Amino acid sequence: MLFQGSKRYNDYTSFIKKHFSQRVQKISLNTGFTCPNRDGTKGLGGCTYCNNSTFSPDYCKPAKTVSQQLEEGILFFSKKYQAQKYFAYFQSYTNTYASIDLLKEMYLEAVNYPNVIGLIIGTRPDCINSDIVEMLSEISKIYFVSLEFGVESTLNRTLKLINRCHTFEETKAAYGMAQNKGFHLGAHMILNLPGESIEEMLNHAKELSKLPISTLKLHQLQIVKHTVMAFQYKENPEMFNLLNADQYIDLAAEFVTLLRPDIIIERFISESPKHLLIAPQWGGMKNFEIVNKIDNKLVEKDYWQGKFYSETN
């Protein structure tokens, strides 16, 4: 059991310290791009759980240029921390869903901003092509680049239910296209989506481990206001079997044991603003408190990342 930090899994903070020898802060950016399941290309209404207000900072407005958003974001974080570098985090909606010329212009504007040392780009697996991959490969020769796909589930029935408008087969194809191109690949996964059993959620770890990912972001399903899922929860609460905090902590600990040992776990949970969160309500526990409990659970059960992982899974 050898990991980069003191935890029983590969944590993102230790990864950053090892590779950059200093603090690196993400600055969220909003390009104003939409998604193919919002604009009618593949569907309408977006993912049933999605409300971008749950994670977009106040400075993060598409009316502002990339440089303006970086300036305001860096000003905000520089008051909290002294010497540090920054990643430009293209976060909201689908950040490869535009012409190659516009994407290249925005990405280069970001990496040319003072003290920005890399890009993190969040997108959908059905919104990538070989031209974008090659462009990012060129940028990655000079800067750190991470391309993160919203996987969300490995079950096609779930992807259909939440209106993702793509399949898990498309997800695997996207990773195949982007692997071994000189940049990092990441995955986002939502645990406790409607209709998924504990066994099926644990199986996500096995399926994710087969993908060429470097980083993984996990979080619990959160039902927030102004979403299709909020309406579904009100009208058909039997659709949902939301875990309480202790149940989620147990699930996360089990999940870690099935995960490929080299994958860097960037997060375990997400915390929506109180005024938007409908459920689950976990008594106001903060992110770090849940993570501490997961760490303690791993020690209590003598678990570690990959303990039950097998390449034959």
Cα separation of 138 and 132, whole Å? Answer: 10
Report the amino acid identity of residue 157. Answer: R
The domain that holds 221 is classified in CATH as 3.20.20.70
* pLDDT of amino acid 4: 66
d(CA 223, CA 45): 16
pLDDT at 86: 96
Radius of gyration, alpha carbons of the chain? 19
Output the CA–CA distances (angstroms, integers) from residue 279 to 229, 238, 274, 276, in the order listed.
Answer: 11, 14, 10, 9
* C-alpha atoms less than 13 angstroms from C-alpha of 72 in its C-beta half-sphere: 13
Q: Is residue 235 part of a domain?
A: yes
pLDDT along the chain (313 residues), means of 10: 80 92 92 87 87 61 87 89 87 90 96 96 96 97 97 97 94 97 97 97 98 97 94 94 96 98 96 91 89 97 95 64
**Assigned domain for 6 exists:** no
Query: Cβ(90)–Cβ(121) under 8 Å?
Result: yes
Query: What pLDDT is stored for residue 1 in this prediction?
Result: 64
Residue 310 domain flag = no
Is there a domain that residue 1 lies in?
no
Structure confidence at residue 257 (pLDDT): 98
For the chain, the farthest-separated pair of C-alpha atoms sits apart, in whole angstroms, at 52
pLDDT of residue 238: 93
- Using an 8 Å Cβ cutoff, are 234 and 240 in contact? no
Supply angle C-alpha 184, 190, 193, rounded to 5: 155
Evaluate whether residue 111 is within a structural domain.
yes
Residue 32 backbone zone (phi > 0: left; psi -120 to 50: alpha; other: beta): left
What residue numbers bound the domain in which 95 lies? 12-300
CA distances from 186 to 20, 265, 266 (A): 18, 10, 9
CA 195 to chain centre: 21
Q: How many domains does the chain have?
A: 1
**Is 307 a domain residue?**
no
Rounded distance between C-alpha atoms, residue 176 and residue 149, angstroms = 12
Output helix, strand, coil percentages for the chain, rounded to the nearest 5. Answer: 35, 15, 45
Residue 4 lies in a domain: no
Q: From residue 39, how far is each of 52, 53, 64, 144, 217 by CA, in Å?
A: 16, 19, 22, 31, 26
Residue labelled with tokens 């310290």: 17
Residue 24 lies in a domain: yes
What would the pLDDT profile of 13-35 be if each residue is shown by its tens digit?
Answer: 999 999 998 889 999 999 888 88
Helix (H) or strand (E) run with residue 53 in it: none
First to last CA, the chain: 20
pLDDT of residue 61: 65
- Segment 42-78, tens digit of pLDDT: 888 889 898 866 555 665 567 799 999 999 999 988 8
Phi, psi dihedrals of residue 225, rounded to the nearest 5°: -65, 155
